[in-house]
Amino acid sequence: MGRWVWSRAECGSSGDCLEEVSKSAVCARGPITDDLMCLKMMTFGLAKCTITGVDGHGPRDGGTPILLVAGAATGHLQANLQIAAAPPGGAREGSCHWSRTNSVNLSVLGADMLALLCLCVVLLVWWFSRPKKSPSTIPGPRPWPLIGSMHLLAGHETPFQAFTALSRVYGDIFSIHLGSASCVVVNNFKLIKEVLIAKGGDFGGRPDFARFHKLFGGDRNNSLALCDWSSLQKTRRSIARTYCSPRFTSLQYDRVNNVGEEELKSFLHQLDQLPHGQPCNVKPAVLMVCANMFTQYMCSTSFAYEDKGFQKIVRYFDEIFWEINQGYAVDFLPWLLPVYTGHMKKISNWATEIRQFILSRIIDKHRATLDTNSPPRDFTDALLMHLEEDPNMNWQHIIFELEDFLGGHSAIGNLVMVTLAAVVDHPEVAKRIQEEVDQVTGGTRCPNLFDKAAMPYTEATILETLRTASSPIVPHVASKDTEIDGHEVSKGTIVFINNYELNQGDAYWDEPGLFKPERFLSSTGNIVKPAHFIPFSTGKRTCIGQRLVQCFSFVVLATLLQYYDVSTKESVKVQPGCVAVPPDCFKLVLTPRK
């Protein structure tokens, strides 16, 4: 058979340009690629390319799924998407070039062509013999074989932007096949409330992605956020609610405030060690103060910033948070799993090391000093006591629940970083926050949680960051045959909640493309949150730790801006559609305020 290869000489300086995938297909991973996959299935392949240009075939958009049909006899390559041709004479600047070896085995040519013809006939028969939709069936695009309608997500920065565009064609509720998964997308607040609140019990499941299993010891039901709803899930949330959703007047709220004040001292000391007046990586310090706030509050334990084990675990938590916020073809095309073997092993190793750290340096310490005759000292004690009292709980449940909530610090650290990125682009916002914190504290102390009511603009800035970032709500899954707005929805259907439309739609916001914290302030300066603003979801599966996120992100952001002016010497771009930045993200310039 003919085969396509990348010419090593034309791939730039990368020493890892050629990668053997099979005896008849060769892929490249050079400096101009991001996540190139080359899969040979008979004569079909699915490639996810970030190629700036190839001879006669033009550029590939980053992350765009492209269906490739390779003819064995001629080696001809076709891309069945809208691909502009390259300039006459070859590829664009900086790209690699296709070259073809002259290794055509004529003895297998006839068999290959016959197999291709048979496969085409089978696909055509399947395409035209599918049952017609009934009036109650949800409208949506007709899927392609193998990839469903994944090609329709091309040309958009996030899938939810594509969903918004498709809703203009098919309506506020439409069906879409993503690979082998049957999905439904709901795009307005009325339908979203029906799914999350009115029929929350019908849609209590979560997608069964292989990545989720790898992150939680082989079973995603170990996770509170990614498990299907069950009586065990209800029990675990009940244990956590007192600690993860502290009421303003409760003793737990006082403890959250005290922990925040204490850890901010170490945070300021760490910031003081960074080089001032020049670009530096602020994210590790932000993540570590958030991590110590969580471990101190939930486990009565904190760690030195210089602790190598602590640094590594904080990094792994951040990697996993970024991972969960990404979408991969393998989520919907499980037959691609062999291509992702290395990636799956990597994320599994991260999660395993995190659990070993929690067990050896937190749980074992608590077990040795636990007094079951006294009230629990913290969340960890409460979990250990419940383990002894409830026969339905086991060690796995305890470890994974603690891991789940400790991992919430990554959400806070990333939210602070995304907010700082917005503040850098809008220095007038930073100035107003600084004026607010100076007025409230008098410049004599750090802000605390009880200052929150007197600092509405700072809180509004965080809310505006959540709106503009539009982090997706975790998809739900129908746990039984049910309906949405009178349309039939089969058990196992994945339901996407398009909160991007809720956060960015002209029907919901005035000038949604602008960063305006004051949109969350009333005429009297108080916080006002519209009903359709649900950054932490709503209903029975709302984020149980959202109050901690709002509390700790407030004091970290306010304290940092109280002591430093923040700027940058480079363009700061944050990926839309998630409140997350890569572990190695943009650098900021910290200048101490006088």
Residues in the annotated binding site: 543
Residue 43 φ then ψ, to 5°: -115, 15
**Annotated binding-site residue numbers for heme:** 543
Inter-residue contact 477 to 493 (CB < 8 Å):
yes
Inter-residue contact 579 to 466 (CB < 8 Å):
yes
- Report the first-to-last Cα separation within the chain, whole angstroms: 72
Radius of gyration of the chain (CA): 26
**To which H or E segment does residue 495 belong?**
strand 494-497
- Measured CA to CA, the distance from residue 429 to residue 246 in angstroms comes to 29
Helix or strand or coil: residue 451?
A: helix
> Measuring CA to CA, how many Å separate 223 from each of 148, 170, 230, 385, 480?
29, 34, 12, 20, 21
- Measured CA to CA, the distance from residue 484 to residue 487 in angstroms comes to 5
Q: Of 475, 481, 446, which Cα lies nearest the Cα of 554?
A: 446
Q: Of 510, 515, 511, which Cα lies nearest the Cα of 428?
A: 515
Inter-residue contact 78 to 120 (CB < 8 Å):
no
- Measured CA to CA, the distance from residue 235 to residue 230 in angstroms comes to 9
Burial of 82 (0-12, 13-18, 19+ CB in 10 A): exposed
* Helical ranges in 50-181 per DSSP H: 109-129, 159-170
Give the list of residues 6+ apart from residue 155 with CB closer than 8 angstroms, or none: 61, 64, 82, 162
Cα dihedral 411, 415, 417, 420, rounded to 10, equals -170
Inter-residue contact 107 to 72 (CB < 8 Å):
no
Residue 81 falls in which region: left (phi positive, over 0), alpha (psi -120 to 50) or beta:
beta
Strands 98-100 and 173-178: unpaired
